[in-house]
Amino acid sequence: MHPPRSSSRAALAVLLLLLPTLALAADRGAWAPGVAYAVGDIASYGGKGYDCRQSHTSLVGWEPPNVLALWLERTGNPPADTQAPTAPSGVGSPSKTYDSVSLTWSASTDNVGVTGYEVFVNNGASASATSTTTSATVTGLAANTTYTFTVKARDAAGNRSAASAAFSTTTPTRPAPDTQAPTAPGSLRSTGVTASSVSLAFNASSDNVGVTGYEIFVNGGTSAAATSTTLTATVTGLAANTTYTFTAKARDAADNRSAASNSVAVTTGNTAPSGSKVLVGYWHNFDNGSTNIRLRDVSSQFNVIQVAFAEPVTGAPSGTMGFTPYNATVAEFKADIATLKAQGRKVLISLGGANGTIHLDDAAARQAFVSSMQGLVNTYGFDGLDLDLEGSSLSLNGGDTDFRNPTTPRIQNLIAGTRQLLNDNGAGFVLTMAPETAYVQGGYAAYGGPWGAYLPVIYALRDRLTYLHVQHYNTGTVMGLDGRAYAQSTPDFHVAMAEMLLQGFPVGGNASAVFPALRPEQVVIGLPSSPQAAGGGYTTPANVQKALDYLMKGQSFGGTYVLRQAGGYPGFKGLMTWSINWDKFTNFEFSNSHRAYLDTYP
């Protein structure tokens, strides 16, 4: 999670999109988003040349000067790419409507790489559609009209190919308007209840053209409380111990609505009492120029102290973990831990970090991991274990597609080894995790490689998981449940990322593979304590507390993101920070301001 020898972390080095094949190292011309770059590739940006340090697919925000983990500036400019791609071939139309034509074609080739295609209509000078694949749909056409289409390819340097051979087709006559509504959904029923939500199911409607979705209405309201394209829906943001009446309607593409289904009355459950809020902090077992602190002198504002880090002592594949205090003897460090525990605080050993790669590839490595970690727990008296794994420590193998049944040995052995440590140390042994957003919320958009790689671990150990504090920093933009991408450092980002864990989400866009919601008391937001503590994502205390007011009380700050549970999540547990040392460096701004704020909640 945190770079053990510098104030900011190269976390973006692991946010790589793993593709079946990557482009060979070459001069790639001008840098562009959406391009697969390989190690050794050369790209130009802002008049400078850069060497690719790690294979990845570029995204907006990952420009070479902004992501030094991916790019190294060259001393000279790369040679210009002046070779155009070959012309696309085989243009055809698999389908069309009265006002659109869908086109496909065979791929072009390029000396560096094709980055996209442009579709031209009737020899127009401007493209009517663009695509990064070998298909596109041209819309806004007239019915019963013949159009001629050509396609050109482009590369990252802006070179355009010659036009493809022309393809002509005629749009069909506009059909008569669809005025027939779908039939009403059948057998509306409740399938699950919480204190703030009701899950519903119903039987499919039929339509002369086709049903496109369903709407759920509450207590005879005129606006839908939930929508769905499947035969289930969940209405959230409800009051506890309250009876609600639900109906469902179907709709079609012409916006015709069916009559209402049967009504069903459901009573929500009671709200479980929530505990006090926590402040979790990481203590450096190294000197990186922030502040040297003896463990016993950690600010009293922190409830949980993560000692960072235990690391492999004989290489990543061995599984053997070690830890040696850097500013105290073993006896002094054990006494420091005992002092903190006597104050009612928890002291955990965090393993991994940016440089602590761990590969539990087989049973021998797993057993070495368990034995060595148990030895550290016994020696120092740690209260629990924190999993702060990055990079190749957690990455899904090809074909590992179900978070509920992982097949990657490295993940299977981590789960089994951690479970053994939990069992051996009893019910009071604390388990926390500190993944980056790509490894958790990133699994919403894609599941594979690092994307969503923590999900099987969280899912398998959720019954013993105390806190999940995802790092809301060094991450760029991430998509929320509303389909919008939110930028780090903003209240919207913190609320959107947290609610994904509190609501659950379909993994990889698969509605049949929903990662279940965590309990609010398991969810903590991870933040840098100061601008120096991370490469990006620092958020002022005022903006953090705006996000928390909305997240816990439903008190809006007027942002873009809208909570699925309008009343918020009173049981949400608190904040984590990297780090305790950087917090002291900035005169305890983080811990003092947020401890006082969190203490205003019951």
For the full predicted model, state whether its pTM sits above 0.85: no
**pLDDT confidence tier of residue 77, bands split at 50, 70 and 90:** low
> SS3 for 280?
strand
Q: How do residues 325-339 score in pLDDT, each as one tens digit?
A: 999 999 999 989 988
Query: Which residues 6+ apart lie within 8 Å of 365 measured at CB?
Result: 317, 318, 319, 359, 413
- Inform me whether the pLDDT recorded for 156 exceeds 80: yes
pLDDT at 192 exceeding the cut of 80: no
SS3 category, 376: helix
Tokens matching residue 399: 């074909």
**591 - beta bridge partners?**
none
Which CATH number describes the domain made up of 186-267?
2.60.40.10
For the annotated catalytic residues, the residue numbers are 390
Higher pLDDT, residue 274 or 283: 283
What percentage of the chain has pLDDT greater than the value 70? 93
The pLDDT, as a whole number, for residue 8 is 40
Q: Is the peptide bond before 300 cis (omega within 30 degrees of 0)?
A: no
Query: For position 269, what pLDDT does the model report?
Result: 59
Every domain of the chain and the residues it spans: 11-73, 89-170, 186-267, 278-598
Would you state the pLDDT for residue 493? 98
Q: Indicate if the pLDDT at residue 151 is higher than 70.
A: yes
pLDDT over threshold 60, residue 407: yes
Give the pLDDT score at 17.
Answer: 38
The residue that leads in pLDDT, 107 or 18, is 107
Rounded distance between C-alpha atoms, residue 238 and residue 241, angstroms: 9
To which residue do tokens 């979705």 refer? 213
Q: How high is the pLDDT of residue 48?
A: 86
User: DSSP letter string over 425-481?
Assistant: H-TT-EEEE--BGGGTGGGGT--BBTBTTTHHHHHHHTTT--EEEEE-SS--EEE-T
pLDDT band at 82 (very low <50, low <70, confident <90, very high): confident
- Mean pLDDT over 170-179 rounds to 92
DSSP reduced 3-state for 393: helix
Highest mean pLDDT: which range of 4-18, 27-41, 179-193, 404-418? 404-418
Mean pLDDT of the chain: 91
The pLDDT of residue 223 is above 50 = yes
pLDDT of residue 451: 96
Q: How far apart are CA 522 and CA 538, in angstroms?
A: 23
Summarize the confidence of residues 144-150 as an average pLDDT.
97
- DSSP letters, 28-55, are EEE--TT-EE-TT-EEEETTEEEEE-S-
Superfamily of domain 89-170: Immunoglobulins (2.60.40.10)
Confidence of residue 78 (pLDDT cuts 50, 70, 90): low
- Using pLDDT thresholds of 50, 70 and 90, give the confidence band for residue 3: very low
Residue 205, number of CB atoms within 10 A of its CB: 23
Phi-psi region of 45 (alpha: psi -120 to 50; beta: other; left: phi over 0): beta
Dihedrals φ, ψ of 588, to 5°? 65, 30
Q: Do domains 186-267 and 278-598 have the same CATH topology?
A: no
Residue 16 pLDDT greater than 60, yes or no: no
Report the pLDDT value the prediction gives residue 79, as an integer from 0 to 100.
66
What are the pLDDT digits (tens) for 102-125?
999 999 999 888 999 999 999 999
Domain spanning 11-73, CATH class: mainly beta
How confident is the model over 160-171, as a mean pLDDT? 97
The tens digit of pLDDT for each residue in 29-60 reads: 889 999 999 998 998 888 788 899 999 999 99
The rounded percent of the chain whose pLDDT value lies above 90 is: 78
What is the domain class of 278-598 according to CATH?
alpha beta
pLDDT of residue 25: 56
